[in-house]
């Protein structure tokens, strides 16, 4: 019996667990594992509660005494709920989350056990930073890194699996010199800047707005594979994706709806993690749709960006843990299976004011629509001006397999606004210079008094656009499923903040020069539209015509990660980031290097897995099978059944021809990898990996996949696509 058939048997034999939902109402359950506002209200003194609330709202600093009080409250709350340890929970640039657990319990000098958690331990920790990437920000003589409490994201309790719980404190991670080593620190800076810039622009329309909060709803796609089969695929285990595997006879050709119903086993897993997510205050909505065979999606309701990102990171972690319990492996890789949809993480983004306005939602009031058009056009202009940077923010080895393949957005950044909105803007521009006669209705005259209801069935039409307007928010669809959303969000927040600062400056100049406010606004927006028009695209983003058309328009189509990342280093980028204070040029450069390093590492692992599997699993199995065939052929020949032996010999020759090529290609790939490893300069090394080493992957795969069709099904060593994807 092969490892594969054993695994398949185990997978087939699983019974779906009976899940007893918690007895509490969802409303009681929601957030019960978080150190929430309600908990603070009960446990803190009125003074401390007010101070911490202010700190959460406005980012003001927390003094020592308040920190002590919060720490004490957190400790007693956590211990009362069964926690034994605490940790600063942070998001290093490895793309996962990190934690280092410390015990609440300590020994006094005379050996008595006490529970201890000081304010200073809440505010700052010093994890061993040396194992996290720093892109040169941490000199070897100063390996220290610090994590610092982010009070705006509530602390929560994480089950350790073996009974105990840990109090997790969301934190930033910075170097000794205060440079960002994580995603959260620059994200918080970008959010602060965007708030400031957007609030400034709001003053032209609503003077009462004093805070603008960017919002984010993250749609997370993923695949599920049975644990046993997962372990029967060393490539999944090592690189997160299948490097070989012939497409199943029934792939995605059939209508999507075919995969409409979710098996009880998958359903049990979903219900289980959703309850746990709700307890952690993650607002998951029960929505169980299957996209490709074996693929699913989870989309919580939108929240403030910082929270949405923490919650997504936590959700991914949680899904993996609950998956273990249900004998599933959750695959977050962007392209775990060739020839089938990849997975994305659609980022739905908008701006909301403290007065309850969604700045990207058109309304039925003309005056408000001018505000809407202002924010809309500023986003479009920002995306137009920094499309390459936005492209860089979603570049990775995994996403490279997805972009531009099966139903995934192309690597060309374009913006979809929808026909109605585009026509309206076209018309506005065609009106020419604006003159306002006395008594004329400005909005009516310019055709912006009524904005059609855009939300209606927009979604289906714009599935091919990487960045589209969906009625009251923008949706960045090119983001990869395994990515930390902070990476694209830092960029989006920053370029929009920068753009809004420009807008405000020009408005101020025009107003000082005596221009009428509405007229000035429209004049600027008209110019923005003309300047950024070539990024607007309404057609089919998957078509070849678009690739040609985009090239004619001068839009970039950067296919490779190593080229895409370059945008982090340009003067244009550095200027914007230094102006807004989100990242220094050193920090930008570090990020560039870390991403390139990650890219190289991923390809190196994949290449090794491919070589190992091809030779030690495939070729070795195949020659054994060939031997069996040879014996059969010889027996037939001995019986003088020459004609009957011929087709068998034919198969032997067929197999041999593939084996010869595979051996040769693996050898060449290894040589090219060695060459790449010897290249000192990081970009050149990444380029060599991305263009030379990677070039062998599909070629080798082609021959291995052919062999899969030639070898006796019983002998094939790797779990097949149909076994992994169509499991009930
Ligand atoms: P669709 O399924 O058509 O893409 P949904 O209404 O289901 O759209 O929303 C998708 C995601 O967008 C959800 O996570 C939702 O919470 C989020 N979303 C809705 N409104 C906003 C908003 N104003 N800001 C950010 N995200 C939003
Ligand atoms: Mg969507």
Give the pLDDT confidence of 417-474 residue by residue, as tens digits: 988 889 889 988 888 777 767 677 777 777 777 666 655 544 445 678 899 999 899 9
Ligand 1 nearest-atom number relative to CA 350: 24
Q: Answer yes or no: is pLDDT of 336 > 90.
A: yes
218 Cα to the center of ligand 1, angstroms? 8
DSSP 8-state class, residue 158? E
Write a three-state SS string for 215-273.
EEEEEEEEEEEEHHHHHCCHHHHHHCCCCCCCCCCCCCCCCHHHHCCCCHHHHHHHHHH
Binned at pLDDT 50, 70 and 90, residue 664 comes out as very high
Q: Which of 458, 425, 432, 390 shows the shortest CA–CA distance to 533?
A: 425
Which numbered ligand comes closest to the C-alpha of 302? 1
- pLDDT category of residue 122 using cuts at 50, 70 and 90: confident
Distance 584 CA to ligand 2 centre (A): 33
Could you give the percent of the chain with pLDDT greater than 70? 95
- What tokens were used for 73? 């409250």
- The predicted structure's pLDDT at residue 257: 42
Across the range 218-226, mean pLDDT stands at 96
Average pLDDT over residues 695-713: 96
pLDDT in tens, 70-117: 999 999 999 999 999 999 999 999 878 888 888 887 777 777 777 788
* pLDDT on residue 459: 47
Q: Please name which of 602, 606, 614 lies closest in space to residue 664, comparing C-alpha atoms.
A: 614
Please tell me the distance from the alpha carbon of residue 83 to that of residue 159, in angstroms, as a whole number. 9
Q: Return left, alpha or beta for 663; rule: phi > 0 is left, psi -120 to 50 is alpha, else beta.
A: alpha
Query: For residue 217, how far is its CA from the centre of ligand 1 (angstroms)?
Result: 6
Ligand 1 pocket test: which of 191, 348, 477 has the largest number of ligand atoms within 8 Å of its C-beta? Answer: 348
pLDDT surpassing 50 at residue 46: yes
The pLDDT of residue 433 is 73
The ligand placed nearest to the CA atom of residue 217 is: 1
Q: Which residue owns the Cα nearest ligand 1 atom 3?
A: 459
To test the ligand 1 pocket, which listed residue (277, 291, 299, 362) has its Cβ within 8 A of the most ligand atoms?
Answer: 299
**How remote is the CA of residue 299 from the centroid of ligand 1, in Å?**
8
Residues with CB under 6 A from ligand 1: 215-217, 219, 299-302, 348-350, 358, 459, 472-473
CB 427 within 8 A of CB 420: no
Q: How far apart are CA 422 and CA 462, in angstroms?
A: 14
CA of 476 to the centre of ligand 2 (A): 9
Beta carbons of 155 and 169 less than 8 angstroms apart:
yes
Mean pLDDT of 473-495: 97
> Which-ligand-closest: CA of 307?
1
Give pLDDT tens digits for 356-409: 999 999 888 888 889 999 999 999 999 999 999 999 999 999 999 998 776 677
Give tens-digit pLDDT for 183-213.
999 999 999 999 999 999 999 999 999 999 9
Ligand nearest to the CA of 216: 1
For residue range 132-155, list pLDDT tens digits in order.
777 777 655 556 788 999 999 999
Q: Are 168 and 99 in contact (CB under 8 A)?
A: yes
Mean pLDDT of 563-570: 96
Q: Which domains does the chain have, with CATH numbers?
A: 22-182 (3.10.20.70), 192-246+255-583 (3.30.590.10), 598-725 (1.20.120.1560)
- Provide CB contacts within 8 A for 127, sequence distance 6+: 88, 90, 98, 100, 145, 147, 173
Taking the alpha carbons at both ends of the chain, their separation in whole angstroms is: 22
Work out which ligand 1 atom sits closest to the CA atom of 348.
Answer: 26
Q: Is the pLDDT of residue 250 over 70?
A: no
Q: Which atom of ligand 1 is nearest to the CA of 300?
A: 14
Long-range contacts of 445-448 (CB under 8 A, 24+ apart): 446/522, 448/366, 448/369, 448/370, 448/373, 448/424
Across the chain, mean pLDDT equals 90
């Amino acid at each position: 019996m092969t490892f594969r058939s054993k695994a398949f048997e185990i997978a087939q034999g699983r019974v779906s667990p009976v899940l007893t939902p918690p007895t509490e109402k969802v409303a009681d359950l929601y957030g019960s594992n978080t150190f929430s506002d309600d908990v603070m209200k009960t446990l803190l003194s009125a003074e401390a509660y007010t101070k911490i609330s202010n700190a959460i709202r406005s980012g003001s600093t927390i003094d020592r005494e308040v920190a002590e009080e919060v720490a004490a409250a957190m400790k007693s709350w956590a211990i009362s709920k069964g926690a034994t340890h605490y940790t600063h929970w942070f998001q290093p640039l490895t793309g996962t989350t990190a934690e280092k657990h410390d015990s609440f319990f300590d020994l006094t000098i005379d050996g008595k056990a006490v529970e201890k958690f000081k304010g200073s331990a809440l505010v700052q920790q010093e994890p061993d930073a040396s194992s996290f990437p720093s892109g040169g920000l941490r000199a070897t003589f100063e390996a220290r890194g610090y994590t610092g409490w982010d009070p705006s994201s509530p602390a929560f309790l994480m089950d350790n699996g073996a009974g105990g719980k840990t109090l997790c404190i969301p934190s930033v991670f910075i170097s000794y010199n205060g440079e960002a080593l994580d995603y959260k620190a620059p994200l918080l800076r970008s959010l602060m800047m965007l708030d400031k810039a957007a609030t400034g622009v709001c003053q032209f329309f609503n003077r009462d707005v004093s805070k603008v909060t960017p919002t984010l709803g993250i749609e997370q796609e993923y695949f599920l594979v049975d644990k046993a089969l997962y372990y029967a695929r060393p490539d999944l285990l090592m690189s997160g994706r299948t490097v070989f595997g012939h497409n199943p006879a029934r792939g995605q050709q059939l209508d999507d709806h075919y995969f409409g119903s979710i098996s009880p086993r998958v359903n049990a897993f979903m219900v289980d993690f959703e309850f746990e997510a709700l307890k952690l205050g993650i607002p998951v909505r029960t929505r169980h749709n299957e996209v490709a065979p074996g693929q699913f999606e989870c989309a919580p309701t939108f929240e403030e960006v910082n929270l949405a990102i923490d919650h997504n990171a936590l959700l991914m972690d949680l899904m993996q843990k609950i998956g273990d319990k249900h004998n599933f492996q959750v695959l977050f890789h962007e392209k775990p299976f060739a020839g089938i949809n990849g997975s994305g993480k659609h980022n739905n983004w908008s701006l909301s004011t403290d007065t309850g306005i969604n700045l990207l939602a058109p309304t039925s009031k003309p005056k408000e629509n001018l505000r809407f058009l202002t924010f809309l056009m500023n986003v479009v202009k920002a995306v137009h001006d920094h499309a390459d940077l936005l492209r860089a923010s979603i570049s990775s080895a995994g996403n490279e397999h997805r972009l531009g393949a099966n139903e995934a957005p192309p690597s060309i950044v374009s913006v979809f606004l929808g026909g109605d909105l585009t026509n309206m803007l076209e018309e506005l521009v065609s009106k020419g210079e604006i003159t306002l006669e006395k008594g004329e209705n400005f909005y009516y005259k310019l055709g912006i008094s009524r904005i059609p209801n855009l939300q209606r069935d927009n979604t289906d039409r714009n599935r091919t656009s990487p960045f589209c307007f969906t009625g009251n928010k923008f949706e960045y669809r090119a983001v990869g499923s395994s990515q930390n959303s902070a990476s694209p969000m830092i960029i989006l927040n920053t370029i929009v903040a920068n753009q809004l600062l420009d807008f405000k400056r020009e408005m101020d100049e025009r107003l000082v020069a005596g221009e009428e406010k509405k007229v000035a606004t429209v004049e600027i927006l008209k110019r923005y539209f003309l300047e950024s028009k070539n990024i607007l695209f309404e057609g089919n983003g998957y078509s070849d015509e678009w690739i040609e058309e985009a090239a004619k328009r001068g839009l970039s189509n950067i296919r490779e990660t190593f080229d895409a990342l370059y945008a982090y280093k340009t003067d244009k980028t550095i200027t914007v980031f230094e102006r807004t204070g989100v990242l220094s040029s050193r920090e930008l450069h570090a990020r560039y290097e870390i991403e390139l390093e990650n890219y190289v590492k991923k390809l190196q692992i994949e290449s090794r897995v491919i070589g190992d599997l091809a030779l030690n699993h495939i070729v070795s199995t195949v020659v054994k099978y060939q031997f069996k065939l040879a014996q059969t052929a010889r027996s037939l020949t001995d019986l003088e059944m020459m004609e009957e032996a011929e087709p068998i010999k034919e198969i032997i020759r067929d197999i041999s021809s593939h084996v010869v090529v595979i051996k040769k290609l693996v050898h060449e790939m290894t040589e090219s990898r060695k060459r790449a490893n010897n290249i000192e300069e990081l970009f050149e090394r990444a380029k060599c990996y991305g263009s030379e080493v990677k070039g062998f992957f599909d070629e080798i795969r082609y021959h291995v996949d052919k062999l899969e069709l030639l070898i006796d099904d019983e002998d094939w060593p790797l779990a097949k696509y149909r076994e992994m994807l169509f499991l009930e």
